[in-house]
Amino acid sequence: MKFSIATIPGDGIGPDVVREACLALDAVGRRFGHEFAYTPVLMGGCAIDATGLPLPPETVKVCKAADAVLLGAVGGPKWDNLPGNLRPEAGLLGIRAALGAWANLRPALMFPELAAACPLRPDIVEGGLDILIIRELTGGIYFGEKGRSPDGQSAWDTEKYSRPEIERLLGVGFESAMKRGKKLCVVDKANVMESSRFWREVAEGMKGRWPEVALSYMYVDNAAMQLVRNPRQFDVIATSNIFGDILSDEASMVTGSIGMLASASIGDGSLGPGLYEPIHGSAPDIAGTDKANPLATILSIALLLRHSLGLETEAKAVEAAVRSVLASGLRTGDIASAAGSPSKAREKSVGTREMGAAVVAAIEAKTGPAKDRT
């Protein structure tokens, strides 16, 4: 089949990791007989430099017309002092809103091969970790009314959620839990925030439709603590935009490296296709040095194949290829074991391009689900 993919390489390490992900997608195409046509578009700092805007209208147009959008990362110190609406991050919020991508799925998966990179005690993560964080993406305090008083002595941001916004997000939470461990934890701050109490009220009204799912609630401060104390208690976490932003970064560190985690931003498809991106930023400190780990972006294409193109076997093949390169000992700097650790001797230090090429080779070598081997 033929698919059109809009790519937003962005800034810093974004172009490096998107390049490797597209090469991996091409390998999927060769193996499974698909064709992927890429249209690169500008967003973030590079778009500001070229057009004066973080999200040019042409970018929105191309993304809306594509079957899926693949994003690297945007931002960097060069653009840090611009006013909020002209900063690279405004492009990020804008494209999510334009595509109606209101649910952000962030799997926090610890590959057993990377157990040595996990900062938690081995007994806490024994048996691996597999948490799905579902973050509301187009509402809440990041989009609520904000401002400053005329005297410049105070400022405010507003957390506001409507019933339909909460219902659609929790609907994804319940459905995802059904496909996994059947546990959904709604994370909030219901002891002090009225909007959080409303989230709980809406969840209570919905839970009867998914009787098999065990619904629980947890305050966000406790959730932040539990993620390092006993992360294996979680299956699916559903939460607001700001709490999800913070908790998913914490969960990423628990799993080993921010360079390993993918994300999918999806809606109901009425405004545009899904948007797929690594959860890390543009890492200006290592941009252009061939040090970026491309695996988070490569794992994002697995989510793209699964959620936007309905190609589950292909998605699994990408995930299996990533596991096989990790099992073979290849490591970028961010996932390397500490010097002197027992696993260090079995590792080979590689850069962005070599890691990407190894995944391509593994996809073409048909490493993957047994039923798919020929």
Which active-site residues does the annotation give? 142, 189, 221, 245, 249
Minimum distance of ligand NAD from residue 344's CB (angstroms):
18
Interaction of residue 49 with ligand NAD, rule CB under 6 A: no
Residues pairing with 37 in the sheet: 4
| Nearer to ligand NAD among residue 139 and residue 281 (C-beta) | 281
Angle between helix 14-32 and 352-364 (nearest 10): 10
Question: What is the number of the residue whose Cβ is closest to ligand NAD?
Answer: 281
- Cα 368–Cα 373–Cα 374 angle in degrees, nearest 5: 155
Point out which span in 46-54, 72-80, 209-217, 319-327 binds ligand NAD (CB under 6 A): 72-80
Interaction of residue 283 with ligand NAD, rule CB under 6 A: yes
**Residues between 240 and 259 that touch ligand NAD (CB under 6 A):** 258-259
Q: What is the 3-state secondary structure (H, E, C) of 179-220?
A: HCCCEEEEEECCCCCHHHHHHHHHHHHHHHHCCCCEEEEEEH
**CA–CA separation, 91 vs 97, rounded Å?**
10
Interface pattern 308-347 for ligand NAD (x via CB under 6 A)? --------------------------x-------------
**Residues between 11 and 40 that touch ligand NAD (CB under 6 A):** 13
Q: What is the dihedral of CA 70, 141, 243, 265, to 10 degrees?
A: -20
Residue closest to 160 by CA, chosen among 144, 175, 173, 147: 144
Which residues, including other chains, have CB under 8 Å from residue 347's CB and lie 6 or more apart? Answer: 329, 330, 331, 336, 337
Check: CB of residue 174 under 8 Å from CB of residue 206.
Answer: yes
For strand 275-278 and strand 68-73, is the pairing parallel, antiparallel, or unpaired? parallel
Minimum distance of ligand NAD from residue 267's CB (angstroms):
18
Interaction of residue 133 with ligand NAD, rule CB under 6 A: no
By CB under 6 A, name the one of 239, 293, 300, 308 that touches ligand NAD.
293
| Nearer to ligand NAD among residue 235 and residue 277 (C-beta) | 277
| Nearer to ligand NAD among residue 274 and residue 368 (C-beta) | 274
Interaction of residue 261 with ligand NAD, rule CB under 6 A: no
Point out which span in 28-36, 125-133, 219-227, 286-294 binds ligand NAD (CB under 6 A): 286-294
Number of amino acids touching ligand NAD (CB under 6 A): 21
CB-count exposure of residue 304 (10 Å: 0-12, 13-18, 19+): buried
Binding interface with ligand NAD (CB under 6 A): 13, 73-76, 89, 92, 258-259, 277, 280-286, 292-293, 296, 334
